[in-house]
Structure 1
């Protein structure tokens, strides 16, 4: 049975990609964020993304932006999530913010609604403890850009039921995606490895071992990676990188996860990467 209505909380880069992907796969989407300005920006970005897809897929049928946007309701009011069957949360990787979000979701959504945390590092079991439906909380770690990435890292929390996992897999299949199921641990598999790699690459830059371009070129030419670690950091967002590495440092109490001072400095300066227009590289306009 197809899931009809999906809530997406957080209209940042990941939330925008998710809302677009869901609408393009025939779902009704409720996209919620804290301000009308953020939602207006999300609306424009989704329209631009669809046009961008049409530019690169001239020989394929491309969705009409107006039709896709008609599938998405943009709102600052959580009340519109009361009829959703599935909610995917993508808010900032800060525990105090997530606590407030899940308190609202748990109070508004039906008991049958599944909550999926699209988090980079925070344990799913800890997130589930904020709700009265721990068996219906799962991790779904999407990759950026969401519409173009076919694989999702799915995380089973301590209480996550087999039924919840099955429903989550069904939704992903409807979105044209596959999943790899892993057990709950801070950072899971992908970010427990990736955040260390990016953080260490920033240390190499700080220690003047190599330039930005040289670090990335080594990974692309020697290992066949499509992007180097510093390019990847800009794509993810340096603020998100810092939040994630801080969660790992706090969770494991291991000095190998200590955030690089250069990373902290760049985040303090507002150099977040692609979304701000400046990170390790310079971009033509913020995303």
Structure 2
């Protein structure tokens, strides 16, 4: 008995198209989660740089390796300088705080106290780092599976999905916190809460090289990673359009 069921490559391509659609939805979800985590991490950096985080409950480790005499002298100098600055700026502080309260409705101290605490930022950064790393790994693996499906099912758009997978590999290499895995070598785009909150922000009116390294660490790497993520997503979208065209031809 010869029944007219579709056999051969048509069945294989139809199955591959269904699998490609499932991977496309998961890929878009992983991309969205990764992008949100990157935005939150960059927002945490700028909140710390603009002194919008209440660091009164921070438990940062004290620097080691400093002699006791030098530390005592430095502490005495800092205390004397602080007292002198407080005495000199008492009048200007009172007038400035009054003007700020009248114009903006709050002072700079009130703005910092209204922000998140140091412990809250530790939790937020840790969660974002974990979710971001897992999402990027899944994003890259999804692109790899989509590439295999395109090759086996002859779906087209292999150029786009192959480039998207290569971009995701570069993204994965840069996102790994190498300063934690291999201390003293290189740094990754993911930073720990200790790196951000336990280090003093580098002002731009200081040495230019320090400013470049500081912003390159927390903003430059973030920009490169974000560009790679968006570029990989754009390439995968072009691949999806090629797959949709193939599906329309089959129909």
Please, what TM-score do these two structures have when normalized by structure 2?
A: 0.22
Please, what TM-score do these two structures have when normalized by structure 1?
A: 0.20
Higher strand share: 1
Higher relative contact order (CA 8 A, sep 6+): 2
